[in-house]
């Protein structure tokens, strides 16, 4: 039923202006839709061939699992370095089968990195899957 449909991520935030700055300026995403009179408090960002929707909600930051995953294309290390230079702090986890190399977790050819947006939404970067 849904196997041939595109999907996208949606993230709740507490402050739409702060989120706009983080996702646009820190992560470098392009704003494609900025609410409007009928959709105040909603932003749409282009992410490759998909979209990331960010919306204001009183439940922002309550998800403790991955909120958004970005598939990297051989540029994970460079992306982590660029985000760190913009003030992003990466999460470090002690997980079975993973070793930590700087801010990047490794399991054979698979490389992973996690960081949080200003509301604590967990963003996951993955390469090699």
DSSP assignment of 11-73 equals EEES-HHHHHIIIIIIS-PEEEEE--TTSTTEEEEEETTEEEEEEE-TTTT---SEEEEEE-S
Higher pLDDT, 75 or 1: 75
What is the reported pLDDT for 38?
Answer: 52
Q: Please give the share of the chain, as a percent, with pLDDT higher than 90.
A: 81
The pLDDT value given to residue 117: 97
What's the whole-number average pLDDT of the chain?
Answer: 92
Q: What is the average per-residue pLDDT within 5-26?
A: 93
pTM over 0.75: yes
CATH 3.10.180.10 for domain 9-127:
yes
**pLDDT score recorded for residue 6:** 79
């Amino acid at each position: 039923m849904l196997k041939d449909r595109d999907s996208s991520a949606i993230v709740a935030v507490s402050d739409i202006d702060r989120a706009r700055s983080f996702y646009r300026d820190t992560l470098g995403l392009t704003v494609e839709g900025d609410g409007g009179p009928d959709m105040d408090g909603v932003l749409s960002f282009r992410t490759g061939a998909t979209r990331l929707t960010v919306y204001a909600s009183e439940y922002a930051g309550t998800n403790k699992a991955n909120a958004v995953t970005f598939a990297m294309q051989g540029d994970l290390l460079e992306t982590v370095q660029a985000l760190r230079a913009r003030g992003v702090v990466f999460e470090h986890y002690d997980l079975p089968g993973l070793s930590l190399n700087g801010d990047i977790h490794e399991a054979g050819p698979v490389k992973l990195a996690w960081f949080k947006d200003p509301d604590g939404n967990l963003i996951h970067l993955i390469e090699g899957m």
